[in-house]
Amino acid sequence: MTMGEHTPQAITGKVTPLRTEDAPEKATPLGGRLVLTATFLSGAAAVAVAAHRSGRVPERIPPGDLVLLGIATHKASRIISKEKVTGFLRAPFTTCAEAETNAEVSEQPRGRGLRRAIGELLTCPFCIGMWIAGGAVATYLFAPRAARLGSSVLAVLSVSDYLQYAWTAADQATED
């Protein structure tokens, strides 16, 4: 998945021009995306080399650990891209938030170039998920117990969230 595939524009079918003289702040930030992609790939390559040299590349990752890392990645990507409490991280790169639900916000990237590309990354849970997954697997390679512990916290929080939604739905159903 590339950055932008899951942005509101991609979902609604609205096309953002690659370059435009009328609204340069809305042009697709190709250079910024290039910098972010190069940064991610450089980091991934460095982790791969370090893991290989230290003999830490496992033959396979057990399915239970993959599920745990996946749930944790999902939750962390939602926290970073949609939670009110992490708005301070996104603020330099996004416009003011509008509440989507009680817990989540919907922000738009702002600026041009790298600033806009970072805004796109930070407001898209699918996009930031790749970075979080890379960090989770890197942590797992070098500190598997710590990775499992941190992932367990996020997985427990995910279960709690779904129970909160179920409780709210059941409560509303009994009121109707």
Q: What is the DSSP string of 137-159?
A: HHHHHH-HHHHHHHHHHHHHHHH
Q: Calculate ∠ Cα 144-152-99, nearest 5°.
A: 125
Instruction: Provide the pLDDT for residue 104.
Output: 84
Instruction: Provide the pLDDT for residue 25.
Output: 62
Amino acid at 115: R
Instruction: Provide the pLDDT for residue 2.
Output: 46
Instruction: Provide the pLDDT for residue 151.
Output: 98
Instruction: Provide the pLDDT for residue 1.
Output: 43
3-state secondary structure of 98: strand
Number of H helices, E strands in the chain: 7, 2
Q: Calculate ∠ Cα 125-128-129, nearest 5°.
A: 75
Say if CB 107 and CB 90 are below 8 A apart: yes
Instruction: Provide the pLDDT for residue 27.
Output: 81
Instruction: Provide the pLDDT for residue 145.
Output: 97
**pLDDT, tens digit (0-9, with 9 covering 90-100), for 119-143:** 999 999 999 999 999 999 999 999 9
Alpha-carbon Rg of the chain, whole angstroms? 19
Instruction: Provide the pLDDT for residue 156.
Output: 98
3-state secondary structure of 72: helix
**pLDDT, tens digit (0-9, with 9 covering 90-100), for 3-60:** 445 554 555 555 555 555 555 566 899 999 999 999 999 999 999 999 999 999 999 9
**pLDDT, tens digit (0-9, with 9 covering 90-100), for 60-117:** 999 999 999 999 999 999 999 999 999 999 999 999 766 666 678 989 999 999 999 9
3-state secondary structure of 80: helix
Mean pLDDT over residues 150-160, rounded?
97
CB atoms within 10 A of CB 157: 16
Query: Taking Cα atoms as reference points, which of 28, 64, 36, 30 lies closest to residue 140?
Result: 64
